[in-house]
Amino acid sequence: MKFLSAITSPEPRSGAGNISRGYLALFATVIIWSLPSLFQFYLLRYYDVWAQNFYRYSVACIAIAPFVAFRVRRGGGPRLDLRAFALCLIPAVPNVVHQITQTIALFYIGPGVYAIFTRSSVIMTALLALIFFPEERHNLRQWQFQVGTLLGLLGAIGVFWFQPGANTGHVAIRGLLIAFIATTCWALYGVLVKRPSARLGSIRSFGLISFITSVLLFPLTCAFGNVATPAEVSWFVNFILAISAITCITMAHVLYYVAIQEIGVALAQTLQLLCPLGAVALSAWIFGEHLTTAQLWSAAILLFGAFLAMRVKPIAATETAENI
């Protein structure tokens, strides 16, 4: 709570302080978003794909609700009306597809490999940002951003390509296709969420998007999943689900909304290339996945590419996120 307040405190929004706050929020999301695939991979033993995503987002929605109520009660800012609902519905749709497909992909590939593969979203995000947001073109034209993105993607591909069993049919084409759909939808979500977060603020926009996402996931869970799963598993499994929802969805999304307003969508997505490093390390420790020498070199290239991208100096955002 204090951490979120510190990041979104009502300070003057200009100059280096603005950018520093954006990087602080972004690096927090990098740490947190090293964990989702690990949580989801574990929960697949107890929750089906549909129920897992519905309950994770429902918990995230409940967790953010008090902050949304506080903002509304305090007054000021845009109202949460039908126009705001329509604005948040647009990114919520690819978000639903992303949540479902990324969980299904874990049936085919391990959590560490998926965390690496999904970083390829930086290419799609950069292209979408170039189309939708003219203010992002400053970053895309800088050589550090271009070279950093290229090296990061080469490193991510190398970590995937050199994994044991990759050339013996271990990774199914169907799994790669599903992972690609998840990655594309994540990139689309990352771009489309900028407008509602700028108009409504990080807290209100995520509160509304998490509510819409939960509503959209509920009929899917009723049709294809098991709504009664929480009553059929242990309290510890439900506790893990709640922790994953509050940290990986609620906290990370709010911080990410702050980051994309301060340093831009394309740069924020590129620095997410750091996430696979933590995911692979934790997956090796918890689930026994191990990196080969070639994978370690690829990971080093990935890290260096992310470092180059970080050296890009983003222009001041024309739209600002709301304070908590």
Q: How many Å apart are CA 299 and CA 273, to the nearest integer?
A: 10
Q: What is the CA radius of gyration of the chain?
A: 19
Residues 6+ apart with CB under 8 A from 45: none
Put simply, whether the predicted model's pTM sits higher than 0.95 gets the answer: no
pLDDT at 160 (0 to 100): 65
Q: Residue 3 — very low, low, confident or very high, per pLDDT cuts 50/70/90?
A: very low
CA 179 to chain centre: 14
CB 319 within 8 A of CB 198: yes
CB 265 within 8 A of CB 194: yes
Q: Residue 9 — very low, low, confident or very high, per pLDDT cuts 50/70/90?
A: very low
Q: How many Å apart are CA 112 and CA 302, to the nearest integer?
A: 14
Give the tens place of pLDDT for each residue, 179-227: 888 888 988 887 888 788 778 887 888 889 999 999 999 999 999 999 9
Give the tens place of pLDDT for each residue, 90-136: 999 999 999 999 999 888 777 877 877 776 666 666 667 666 766 66
Name the burial class of residue 212, with classes exposed (0-12), middle (13-18) and buried (19+) by CB atoms within 10 angstroms of its CB: buried
Length of the chain: 324
Phi-psi region of 289 (alpha: psi -120 to 50; beta: other; left: phi over 0): beta
Tell me: pLDDT of 316 over 60: no
Q: How many Å apart are CA 80 and CA 52, to the nearest integer?
A: 28
Average pLDDT over residues 13-25: 65
